[in-house]
Amino acid sequence: MEKIRVEVEIEDRKEVKVIEVEGRSLEAVLEGVRALADMEGEGLHVFERDCDDVIGVEIETRKAISVIGHRHKKLKVTVRFEHHSPHHEFSPSTTVQKVLQWAVALPELKLDPTAKAKANLILPGGDTPLPKDDMIGRYVKHPDHEVIFELTLKDFTNG
């Protein structure tokens, strides 16, 4: 029987777990993620990385997949920059990169191409950029369904 390799993140847990699931069926993958989450009966939703909808049956032909388990289907994301605080709803599986692209494209922020190129997201009070391939669900602790990021134009290329 063929296996599927599943990288799993659960809500606000920082560690990524890897499981191998026999049979590559959607139900087997969901069962493995639920077991890792240890949240029986709490309405866990499972999303593939950077997908807006919960995971579907198309995974059965895949050999590997990256997912996040979260109790919310949508998260309110606010990005603060100067006196602006625009917000938008995203899936927990949305990457920091996708949120950053949304933010820098906002006309009210009036960012020129140079500023857009150096833009990063950080946590409030933080001083290091968030990894752009992180899924935003890892920054939201239950029962919250909101997260605030700050947009910074600081140059992080030289440490």
Identify the pLDDT of residue 41. Answer: 55
Task: Report how far Cα 82 is from the mean position of its chain's Cα atoms.
Answer: 24
pLDDT digits (tens, 9 = 90+) for 29-44: 999 998 988 875 568 9
Identify the pLDDT of residue 57. Answer: 67
CATH for the stretch 3-70: 3.10.20.90
Identify the pLDDT of residue 40. Answer: 59
Q: 3-70 with 75-152: one CATH topology?
A: yes
Identify the pLDDT of residue 23. Answer: 79
Distance CA(125)–CA(114), nearest Å, equals 24
| pTM score | 0.90
Give the CATH fold of the 75-152 domain: Ubiquitin-like (UB roll) (3.10.20)
Would you list the DSSP string of the chain? --EEEEEEEETT----EEEEEETT-HHHHHHHHHHHHT-TTS--EEEETT-SSB--GGGGG-SEEEEEEES-S-EEEEEEBTTB--EEEE-TT-BHHHHHHHHHT-GGG---HHHHHH-EEE-TT--SPPPTTSBGGGG--TT--EEEEEEE----TT-
What are the extents of the domains in the chain?
3-70, 75-152
Question: What residues in the chain have per-residue pLDDT under 70?
Answer: 1, 40-42, 57, 157-159
